[in-house]
Amino acid sequence: MAAEIIHPHTADTDDPIDPAFALHRGGKMEVRATVPVRDADELSLAYTPGVARVCTAIAEQPDLVHDYTWKSSTVAVVTDGTAVLGLGDIGPEASLPVMEGKAILFKQFGGVDAVPLALDCTDVDELVETVVRLAPSFGGINLEDISAPRCFEVERRLQDRLDIPVFHDDQHGTAIVTLAALWNAAKVTGREIGELRAVISGAGAAGVAIAKILLEAGIGDVAVCDRKGVVHEGRDDLTPVKRMAAELTNKARLTGTLADALDGADVFVGVSGGTVPEEAVARMAENCLIFAMANPTPEIHPEVAHRYAAVVATGRSDFPNQINNVLAFPGIFAGALQVRASRITEGMKLAAAQALAAVVEDELSPTRVIPSPFDERVAPAVTRAVAEAARREGVARR
C-alpha cells in the first residue's frame, strides 16, 4: 500500500508523532551578517561609500573576490529536482527541503556555507547555462539529485567551463565513502583490495562512480549490473555512460544476471534498490563483504547478509557501518576552498577516501569499518588530505 501523504494545511504539525513538519516550518536555515551595522559609520563601511573601494579593487584584481567576499567559503547546492532521495522526479519546489538539509550539513560538518538552489529547468543546455551564470557568486558547485545519465554530462560540461570545483555528490561522495569502508573491510578480513572481485548492483550515477574509483584504487575486478544484468561489451542496448563502464570493467567477461555475477564474488555493492535473493547471496565467496546501501530497504537485509558476510554495511543509521555521504562532501569542499582549487581531481577523491579510512584504522572491527558522521576527527582529516592532494595535483591556487 502506498504511504500516506500528510499535507501541512490539514496535518497537526505540532503532533509529536510526526515532528518533521514542525521542524521544517519556516525552513531550516537563514542568512546572517558577519559584521555589525549599528551606526552610520558601520553602515558607510559595510555599504556605500566604503563598499565601492572594495568593488574597485576587485575589478582591478579579480582574485581579491576570494579575500573580500563570501566566495572563498560558500558553495551552491544545485538541483533540478529530478532524482530526489528515493522520491524520484518531484520537481524543484519539493526538492528544496532536501537542498536546505544539504546546506546545513555543509555548515555543521565542514564549516562551509552553502546556498540551496532548486532550478526550474531540466534541459541539460539550460541547466548548464543557468549554473554558469550563477557561478561568480560561489567558490564551488555541489550538484545534487539530478537524474542519470544527464548528471554525467551536466557535471562534465560545467567543470569544462568553470574554474571552481564542480562535484556531483550522488556520484563521488557515495564512491569515496564506499571505497574507504571497503579498504577497511578488506583489512578486517586480512585481504588487500587488489584480491577482491566486486559486483555493483546499479548502473546509475553512484554505481558508475563507485566502479571508477574502485578501479583507481586497484580492485582486482568489478562488474556493474543494471536491470537487464551484467553491463558488458556484447550488449547492444547500452547508453554511452554504460558503454564506457563496460569498457573499463568486467575483466572476467561475465554475462548473465546479477545472481550469475555474484557466484563466487567477494564484494556486493548495492546502489539500486530491489531485493537480491538469499540463494544468490549464499553463492558468494567465503568471508564476503556486503554493502547493501539502498534506503530505506537494503537490497540484502542485514539479518540475511550476516549469515554469509564477514562485514555488512548499509545506508541506514540504525545499522553499523553506515555509508553516509556526509562523511565526505563537507571536508572535500572545505579542503578545496581552503586552497582555492580549480577542480576536484581523482587524486583528491582518493586522498579523501584514504583519510576517511585512516580515522578508524586503529579501531577496526566487523562493525566498525567507517567512522560515524558525528566523529569530530572526520572533517579535519578529509579537509587536510584534500588540500594537500590539490597542491600535489597542481590545481591549488594558494
pLDDT of the residue at 51:
96
Chain segment 347-382, per-residue pLDDT in tens: 999 999 999 999 999 999 999 999 999 999 999 999
Binding-site residues for a divalent metal cation, please?
Answer: 144-145, 170
Q: Which residue is catalytic, options 47, 107, 228, 251?
A: 47
Q: Does 234 share its domain with 344? A: yes
| C-alpha–C-alpha distance, residues 23 and 133, integer Å | 33
Out of 145, 169, 193, a domain closes at 169
The answer to the question of residue 30 being in a domain is no
Residue 102 bears catalytic tag:
yes
* Backbone torsions φ then ψ of 37, nearest 5 degrees: -135, 80
Q: Does 246 share its domain with 350? A: yes
Beta bridge partners of 192: none
| C-alpha–C-alpha distance, residues 106 and 280, integer Å | 39
The answer to the question of residue 28 being in a domain is no
Q: Does 176 share its domain with 157? A: no
Residue-level length of the chain: 398
Out of 113, 134, 169, a domain closes at 169
Could you tell me the CATH number of the domain that includes residue 139? 3.40.50.10380
The answer to the question of residue 42 being in a domain is no
Q: Which domain does 319 fall in, by range?
A: 170-329+340-398
pLDDT category at 70 given cuts 50, 70, 90 is very high
The answer to the question of residue 265 being in a domain is yes
Q: Which residue is catalytic, options 102, 212, 242, 349?
A: 102
Chain segment 125-154, per-residue pLDDT in tens: 999 999 999 999 999 999 999 998 999 999
pLDDT of the residue at 15:
57
pLDDT category at 2 given cuts 50, 70, 90 is very low
What's the pTM?
0.92
Residue 47 bears catalytic tag:
yes
Q: Does 118 share its domain with 211? A: no
Contact criterion met (CB below 8 Å) for 271 and 204: yes
Chain segment 76-105, per-residue pLDDT in tens: 999 999 999 878 999 999 999 999 999 999
The answer to the question of residue 384 being in a domain is yes
Mean pLDDT of 219-237: 96
Q: Does 255 share its domain with 361? A: yes
Structural domain count, the chain: 2
Q: Say yes or no to pLDDT of 14 above 60.
A: no
Chain segment 22-64, per-residue pLDDT in tens: 899 999 999 999 999 999 999 999 999 999 999 999 999 999 9
Binding-site residues for (S)-malate, please?
Answer: 295, 324
Binding-site residues, please?
Answer: 144-145, 170, 295, 324
Could you tell me the CATH number of the domain that includes residue 246? 3.40.50.720
Q: Does 261 share its domain with 273? A: yes
Q: Does 249 share its domain with 311? A: yes
| C-alpha–C-alpha distance, residues 337 and 67, integer Å | 12
The answer to the question of residue 214 being in a domain is yes
Contact criterion met (CB below 8 Å) for 230 and 223: yes
